[in-house]
Every structure is written in structure tokens, then in C-alpha cells.
């Protein structure tokens, strides 16, 4: 591959690679580092016309992000003198951040549902009501409530599935 060909391909793929890295890190500096590392590896690799360069670039970017995150975690070492409490509070903070991010993702997915589905899901999840109670509150037939809950859950599961 010539320099000109590589520059063209890199220019076309860079925005998608950055999006994948930003989705992982939520930090532009780390995302940029990951993309740069992948582009450097791509430049050194010998490509054939049969290679799906776009798919390889996106997969390589995701893999690079995982590798970088592992290295960052390994570098974060807590001295024993600081005790177990600091380690536990760090783990709890990480868990709180993950939980908050998961809630945000779920709320975003719920917001894509129809108004009726959103209402029924919120009554079920937030208020803890069963299908009969939801039917009484909304005036929707019980069978319809059950069907709508099932369809809304399927939509949410599909929206929350990790991209492959």
C-alpha cells in the first residue's frame, strides 16, 4: 500500500475509529491515543485487496482500547500503608460510576420507546406495579398490558445489546 493510499484510507476511517474509542473511554485524549496506535499498526501491516479494512480498523480500535484500559488499571497501585479501606472505597466508586452509566443507558433506551410503552415500563419498573394494577391505572386491557410489556422489554434488550 502506498503512502497516498494509506492516507486516504486513514482519513476515511479515522472518524469511525474515534467514535468507537470515544464510546469506550469517554475521553478524547485516550481515544486519540488508541486511534493513533491502531493507525500506526495498520501502516506497518501488509494489506491485501480482500481484507475488509474498515471492519479490521474498528475491531483493532476496540481491542486497543481494552488493552490501554488494562494497562491503566495495572498502573494504579495503592500502597499497603493506605490500607484496605481505600481500595474498597475505590472499588465502590468504580461500581457507582458503572451503575450510573448503566442507568443512563437504560433511560436512553426507554426514551426511544413509544409513549405508551414508556409509561407501562415505568409503572412496572419504577413503581413496582404488576400487570393487573397497570391495567387498572391505564385503562388498558390486561392482555394488552402484558403484550406491551413483553414487546417493550424485547425492544430494550435489543437496544442495550453490546455492538459486535
- Grid cell 500503608 is found at 81
> 11: which 3 cell numbers?
482519513
Q: Which domains does the chain have, with CATH numbers?
A: 3-75 (1.10.1740), 82-160 (1.10.10.10)
Whether the model pTM is above 0.75: no
Render 36-60 in DSSP notation, one character per residue.
HHHHHHHHHS---TTS-HHHHHHHH
* Spacing of C-alpha 146 from chain mean position: 29
CA pair distance 42, 87, nearest whole angstrom:
38
Tens of pLDDT along the chain (164 residues) come to 688 888 888 899 999 999 999 998 888 888 999 999 999 888 888 776 667 888 888 999 999 999 888 887 766 555 555 555 555 566 676 777 777 888 888 888 888 889 999 999 889 988 889 999 999 999 999 999 999 999 998 998 888 887 65
Amino acid at each position: 500500500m502506498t503512502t497516498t493510499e494509506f492516507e486516504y484510507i486513514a482519513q476515511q476511517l479515522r472518524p469511525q475509529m474515534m467514535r468507537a474509542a470515544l464510546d469506550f473511554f469517554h475521553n478524547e485524549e485516550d481515544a486519540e491515543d488508541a486511534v493513533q496506535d491502531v493507525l500506526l499498526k495498520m501502516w506497518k501491516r501488509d494489506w491485501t485487496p480482500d481484507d475488509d479494512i474498515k471492519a479490521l480498523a474498528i475491531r483493532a480500535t476496540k481491542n486497543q482500547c481494552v488493552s490501554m484500559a488494562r494497562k491503566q488499571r495495572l498502573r494504579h497501585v495503592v500502597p499497603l500503608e493506605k490500607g484496605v479501606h481505600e481500595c474498597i472505597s475505590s472499588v465502590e466508586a468504580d461500581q457507582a460510576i458503572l451503575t450510573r452509566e448503566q442507568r443512563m443507558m437504560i433511560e436512553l433506551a426507554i426514551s426511544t420507546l413509544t409513549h405508551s410503552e414508556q409509561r407501562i415500563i415505568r409503572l412496572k419498573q419504577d413503581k413496582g406495579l404488576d400487570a393487573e394494577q397497570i391495567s387498572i391505572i391505564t385503562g388498558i386491557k390486561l392482555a394488552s398490558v402484558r403484550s406491551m410489556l413483553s414487546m417493550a422489554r424485547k425492544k430494550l434488550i435489543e437496544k442495550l445489546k453490546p455492538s459486535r
